[in-house]
């Protein structure tokens, strides 16, 4: 009869698990009240041993399937993390390119605005010079000079008109540039489906 019976320690060593793990399985299967005692040691019968082994095998397969699904889930999460990292890198590069383009556009617009201001200042100086010249010619009130004055006025008007046309052309270029910038503004990623 002692050949059929094994101690908890012997079964644990045979199965390659700890004695406390076997004891835990015994309690789960509610065999602890059915164990026999030989001397001061509890012994396990063949049927009890088979129940313990079956429980151990089922818990191992559950652990393996749980580990496999956990590994799969971790792999999927790692893939998602890698994908998101690449997406962030791409968006950063795209953002840097956009910033560089905006810097160039701002520089161009600043140059155009500077040119416009210089032209406006030149127009103002020319106007003041022509007014002063016109006033001095009017003071002389000579008929010959009046005709020359009219000629100068016409020349002055022609130059002023030419400068005004240049100014208007520059203003139109600036407006066109602003329109182009507004058309080229990138949409925010969350507004891509909106129109």
Judge whether residue 2 has pLDDT over 50: no
pLDDT of residue 187: 59
pLDDT-derived band at 185, boundaries 50, 70, 90: low
Q: Which long-range contacts (CB under 8 A, 24 or more apart) does 68-73 make?
A: none
Residue 148 has what pLDDT? 60
How much is the mean pLDDT over the chain?
78
- Note the pLDDT of residue 13: 87
b/e sequence 143-176, b meaning 16+ C-beta within 10 Å: eeeeeebeeeeeebeeeeeebeeebeebeeebee
Range with the lowest mean pLDDT among 46-50, 89-93, 143-147? 143-147
Cite the beta strand spans of the chain per DSSP E: 6-7, 36-38, 41-44
- Candidates 170, 182, 171, 188; CA nearest to 102 is 182
Distance (Å, rounded) from C-alpha 138 to C-alpha 78? 88
Assessment of whether the complete model's pTM goes beyond 0.85: no
Please give the average per-residue pLDDT across 91-99, as a whole number. 86
Select the more confidently predicted residue: 66 or 12.
12
């Amino acid at each position: 009869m002692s050949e059929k019976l094994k101690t908890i320690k012997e079964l644990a060593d045979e199965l390659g698990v700890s004695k406390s793990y076997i004891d835990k399985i015994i309690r789960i299967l509610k065999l602890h009240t059915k164990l026999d005692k030989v001397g001061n040691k509890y012994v396990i019968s063949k049927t009890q041993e088979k129940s313990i082994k079956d429980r151990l095998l089922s818990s191992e397969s559950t652990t393996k399937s749980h580990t496999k699904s956990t590994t799969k889930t971790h792999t999927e999460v790692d893939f998602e993390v890698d994908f998101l990292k690449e997406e962030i890198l791409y968006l950063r590069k795209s953002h840097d390119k956009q910033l560089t383009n905006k810097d160039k556009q701002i520089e161009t617009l600043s140059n155009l605005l500077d040119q416009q201001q210089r032209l406006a200042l030149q127009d103002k100086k020319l106007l003041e010079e022509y007014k002063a010249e016109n006033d001095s010619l009017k003071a002389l009130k000579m008929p010959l000079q009046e005709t020359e004055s009219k000629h100068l006025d016409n020349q002055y008007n022609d130059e002023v008109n030419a400068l005004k046309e240049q100014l208007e052309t520059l203003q139109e270029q600036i407006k066109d540039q602003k329109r182009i910038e507004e058309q080229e503004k990138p949409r925010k990623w969350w507004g891509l489906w909106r129109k």
